[in-house]
Amino acid sequence: MDLHEPNELRLEAYDNSRIYKERTKAFHDKKIRHKDLKAGDKALLFNSKLRLFPGKLKSRWSGPFKIKEVLPYGAVTLLGKDRTEFTVNGQRVKRYMENESTKVGSSLHLIDPALA
């Protein structure tokens, strides 16, 4: 056995580990959806604690909250209704579309095709 062989094996293991980490990071980053959130926008916050028995029709999104600041690396500072601020991961936030309106009281009449 050569004296340099263990060092070469160790360096090769380091290189393989680095390559694995780079590929894993690239795969992870590819799955992340980038959101263009800005300060002053309104956002909904995903409540992950409702996973156990959430109720049939209970929404997991709470809010709307006002975005105070968008921090680097995806963190977002939100303002609550009582002006308390808290920081959350940006992946738990989605933009609140308040200008989208739906007609209240609109109805759709369905006809049974067997009777027509």
* Token representation of residue 85: 């601020």
Q: What integer is the mean pLDDT of 4-26?
A: 92
Residue 52 banded pLDDT, cuts 50, 70, 90: low
Q: Domain 42-95 carries which CATH code?
A: 2.30.30
Residues 33, 25: Cα–Cα separation, whole Å: 14
The Cα-based distances of 107 to 11, 52, 101, 102, 112 in angstroms read 70, 34, 15, 12, 16
Place of tokens 């909250």: 65
Position with higher pLDDT, 58 vs 89: 89
Where are the domains positioned within the chain? 1-32, 42-95
Give pTM, 2 decimals: 0.55
Residue with the bigger pLDDT between 105 and 61: it is 61
Residue 39: what residue type?
A
